[in-house]
Each structure stands twice: as C-alpha cells, then as structure tokens.
Amino acid sequence: MLISLGESIRMRRKELKLSQSYVADLADVSLNTISKIERGEANPTLDVLQKIGDVLGMELKLEIKGLNKLGYAFGSGISE
C-alpha cells in the first residue's frame, strides 16, 4: 500500500507525540499549511518540506521522473 506524503508526515508527527501547532512553530510555517499538507490539500515547496522534515527527523528523498512529459521545467511548477 502506498502512503501519501501527508499521511507520512501525520504518522511521524503522531509517533513523536507532537501537535500540528508545535511542528508549524518549529518549521516556521503556518498551522494551516501543516494541516493542508497532512490532508493532501497543499503542494508544499521543497523548502517547506525540508523544514518539516528537519523538525520530524525525516529525510527528504525525491525521485524525479518524466517531469518534461508533464510540462514542468526545473524551477517552475512547484508551489506551496
């Protein structure tokens, strides 16, 4: 079974017994952003993902395949 990014973040946060608010404060992002990421309603930037990953002790691993097929150019098409 595939686990979404938001689910992975939520599971790790709960494993560490941290609130969304606490993670948001430490990652210097809004509570709304954390909530939306966990629900799969946001497309966070790599910078935001790195900050959250640092707080939760998660390593950011990316596999980039076929971005040109999707019409993306490096440095664009990714937003918070």
Q: pLDDT by residue (tens digit) across 6-58?
A: 999 999 999 999 999 999 999 999 999 999 999 999 989 989 999 999 999 99
pTM of the model: 0.73
**Which residue's structure tokens are 């210097």?**
28
pLDDT at 70 over 50: no
Give the model's pLDDT for residue 60: 72
From the list 46, 59, 79, the residue with the least C-alpha distance to 8 is 59
**Rounded distance between C-alpha atoms, residue 36 and residue 22, angstroms:** 15
Give the model's pLDDT for residue 4: 84
